[in-house]
Amino acid sequence: MAGEPQADCLFCKIVTGDIPATIVRETDTTVAFRDINPQAPTHVLVIPKVHYPDAAALAAADPQAMVDVLREAGVVAAEEKIDGHGYRIVFNTGAGAGQTVWHAHAHVLGGRGLEWPPG
């Protein structure tokens, strides 16, 4: 069924606790945890507990869950104190854009200069 956990999905396993992660926040619908390979002083991933392969699929199927992810990204940024300077929310979508995990996730990046346009 759409949104159901996938047995072979790394982030579904982080949701269930089968794979450990450094969790910084959890709500009824989301989990936020530190990226294992940080690209900035603050690099947190915010994921919905439901499984969809990317951000657009999530938004189409479960808009409230997408809003929850975005709200939590903002709360993480405030708690990490990167909201004053500014931070970036990134949804890599597709292999050519660097997506490697096929469970929708927001990267929350900050704590350093953030060039625009990104690479």
Q: How far is 67 from 51, CA to CA, in rounded Å?
A: 15
Q: Which of 51, 103, 105, 107 is catalytic?
A: 105
Token output for 35: 């990226």
Cβ at position 92, least distance to ligand AMP in Å: 3
DSSP string, 5-56: --TT-HHHHHHHTSS---EEEE-SSEEEEE-SS-SSSEEEEEEESSB-SSHH
Nearer Cβ to Zn ion, position 83 or 93? Answer: 93
Binding mask 36-75 for Zn ion (x = CB under 5 A): ---------------x------------------------
Is position 92 an interface residue for ligand AMP (rule: CB under 6 A)? yes
Instruction: Name every residue whose Cβ is closer than 8 Å to that of residue 24 and which is 6 or more positions away in sequence.
Output: 32, 33, 34, 44, 76, 79
Is position 95 an interface residue for ligand AMP (rule: CB under 6 A)? no
Which residue from 18, 37, 84, 95 is in contact with ligand AMP, where contact means CB under 6 A?
37
Residues that bind Zn ion (CB under 5 A): 6, 9, 11-12, 51, 103
